[in-house]
Amino acid sequence: MQPSPSLPPGTQPNRQELSPIFLLERAGEVFAERPAVTDGDSRYTWREFRARARRFASALRAAGLQKGDRVAFLAFNSEPLLLAHFAVPLAGGILVAINTRLNPEEIAYIVSHSGAAKVFVSPELEPQLASVPSAVPRTVLGAEFEALLQSGSEAPVEPWLASEDEPITINYTSGTTGRPKGVVYHHRGAYLNALAMVLDHRVQAESQYLWTLPMFHCNGWCFTWGLAAVGAESICIPKIEPGPTWQLFDGGVTHFCAAPTVCTMLVTDPAAHRLAKPVRLFTAGAPPSPTLIARMAELNFQLDHVYGLTEVYGPFTINVPAPGQDTLPLAQQAELRARQGMPNVCAGEVRIVGEDMNDVPRDGATMGEVVMRGNVVMTGYFEDPEATAKAFHGGWFHSGDLGVQHPDGAIELRDRAKDIIISGGENISTIEVEQALVSHPAVMECAVIAVPDPKWGEVPKAFVTLKPGASATTEELVAHCRTRLANFKLPRHIEFGALPKTSTGKIQKFLLRDREWQGRKSRIN
C-alpha cells in the first residue's frame, strides 16, 4: 500500500480536524428549521443561529482579532454566551468564559492573566469590570452586541484552524488555594467530550435542554457544543429559581445538569411534585447521597451520576447501571448509583493508584488517588509549566481525589485528599459521614470537615442545614449516625445553619476549614 502524499492541513481528502465549529455548520443544514435557542422572548432556529455565529466571527475579524487572541465573556447563561462558544473559535480566537460571581479583583486578574483582547459583558455585570483597565475594549450584551453582529456577514467563514490540538477555550479554576489557574482545552477534546455528553445523556433533536448549569463552568460540561451535534434546543435562564424551574419541567424540558446542592434545593421546594413525564439529569460536583438519588427517582427524574474536574472538560466518568440493577430495592439502587462509575465513551482511562503509582486492589475498600489520561484531559495550565508538570506527574493527570475501585472496575470517591480526616491514626471519609447525616429525614444538606482535637489530633465536625420547618438536635443526629457508622466516625460537633457555596452549587469546605483552624497549624494546606 502506497503512503498518502503529504498535503497542507485542511486539504487532505481523508481528514477533517475535530472541532465543535463544524458541528454548528452541519446543524445549520441538517436541523435548519428546528429550534436552536430560546432565551426569554428571543428564539432562533439552527439556520438563524448559524448565521448569527458567522456574523459574530466575521465582525471579530473585521475588528482586528488575530489567531489565538483571547476573548473574554462575563455573562449569564444566554444566547450570546452560547453563540460565543462557536463564533470565537470560528474567528480564530480562544474563548475565556468567566465565573459571574467572582469579585472585581478576581475578574481583573483573569482578564490580565489570559491576555484577553476584548471583554463582552451582561449589562447587570458591568460593575464587576471596575478593576479591569479601561484600555481593554468591552462590549455590553444587548443593543451594542446586536449592532456588532449586524456589521458582520452571514457568508461562510473560513476557519483558521490548522490543527485540532490548538486551544479553543481557557477555563479558570476556582482558586480556593491561591490564584486561579487557566485550564486550556483544545478543539479535539471539546469535540469528543461534546459527543460523549449528548450520547450519555441521551439527548435527541426533540429534546429541550435547560441551562441550569452555568455555561462558564467547563463550557457547560461541553453541552454548549454537543447540542448542535444532535439539533436539540437550548432553554436559557440567567439563574435558577425553583418555582419557575418546576414550571419549565412541566412545560416540556427534557434534560438538565446540576450539582447535588441544586438538586436538593429543587426537591425541597414547595413547588416540588412528581412529574408527569420523566426528566433526565446529570449530577456532579460532589457525590450525591443515596438519599437524594432515591428522592429524585420518586419525583420522576432519571438521574445519571457523572464525575470529573475542570481539567478534564467536566464529566470524565459516568455511572452506567448493570443489567438487572433496576430490579433491586430502591435503597440498594441508590447506593450503587452513588458511585462515580467508569470513563465515558470518549474520555480515556481512569485508575486508582497508591503513592507508588501502582493500582490499588479492586476490593471497594483500599483507597488511592484518582488519576486519568486520554482525549479529554487538558493541554495544561495556561502559562504555568510548573503546575502543569506537577499535575501530569508520571504521565497521568492527578485529580487530588481519593477513592476506591470495585471489582467491576467502577470507581467510588471517598474524599478529596485534603478533606480526609485522620483521627487517632484512623482514616475517616467525610463523604461517608455526610451520607449518614443526610439520610436523616430532617436534614437537607451538610458538610463534614476535620477540626482540631487535643486527644485525637482531629475529629469530624458537621455543618448541617435542616429542611424548612424541620427540627433536630445534635443528640438526635448523632444517635441516627450511630446506626450507620462506627463510633470513631461519628461527628463530635454539629453546627446548624446555611452552608457557603460556589456559583455552581459546590459547598465551600475550605471556608469552614479555614475558620475552624484559624490560629492553628493544620496538616491541610
The CATH number of whichever domain residue 457 belongs to comes to 3.30.300.30
Quick one: 181 and 63 in the same domain? yes
Strands (E) in 192-318, as ranges, are: 208-211, 233-236, 255-258, 279-283, 301-309, 314-318
Strands (E) in 327-396, as ranges, are: 342-343, 348-353, 368-374, 380-381
Question: pLDDT tens across 152-178, in order?
Answer: 999 999 999 999 999 999 999 875 446
Which of 416 and 323 is assigned the larger pLDDT? 323
Question: pLDDT tens across 453-493, in order?
Answer: 888 888 999 999 999 999 999 999 999 999 988 788 999 99
Share of the chain above pLDDT 70, in %: 95
Quick one: 483 and 394 in the same domain? no
In whole angstroms, give the CA distance from residue 117 to residue 109.
14
Which of 448 and 290 is assigned the larger pLDDT? 448
Quick one: 112 and 158 in the same domain? yes
Is 38 inside a domain boundary? no
What pLDDT was estimated at residue 525? Answer: 34
Quick one: 384 and 470 in the same domain? no
What pLDDT was estimated at residue 523? Answer: 44
CB under 8 Å to 130, separation ≥6 — which residues?
A: 104
**Sign of the dihedral defined by the CA atoms of residues 242, 243, 244, 246, in that order:** positive
Which of 152 and 329 is assigned the larger pLDDT? 152
Assess contact for 74 and 103: CB atoms under 8 A.
no
What pLDDT was estimated at residue 9? Answer: 59
Domain span holding position 508: 426-516
Question: pLDDT tens across 112-129, in order?
Answer: 999 999 999 999 999 999
In whole angstroms, give the CA distance from residue 287 to residue 337.
10
In whole angstroms, give the CA distance from residue 122 to residue 140.
6
Is 220 inside a domain boundary? no
Which contiguous run of DSSP H or E holds residue 30?
helix 20-30
Quick one: 311 and 407 in the same domain? yes
Three cell numbers, residue 149? 453582529
First and final C-alpha spacing in the chain: 58
In whole angstroms, give the CA distance from residue 244 to residue 40.
13
What pLDDT was estimated at residue 266? Answer: 95
What does the pLDDT average to over 282-307? Answer: 89
Quick one: 260 and 392 in the same domain? yes
Quick one: 282 and 325 in the same domain? yes
Is 338 inside a domain boundary? yes
Whichever domain contains 342, its CATH number is 3.40.50.12780
> What's the total number of domains in the chain?
3
Question: Which of 156, 185, 214 corresponds to the end of one domain?
Answer: 185
Mean pLDDT of the chain: 92
Quick one: 385 and 431 in the same domain? no
Quick one: 365 and 399 in the same domain? yes
Is 228 inside a domain boundary? no
Question: pLDDT tens across 198-237, in order?
Answer: 999 999 999 999 999 999 999 999 999 999 999 999 999 9
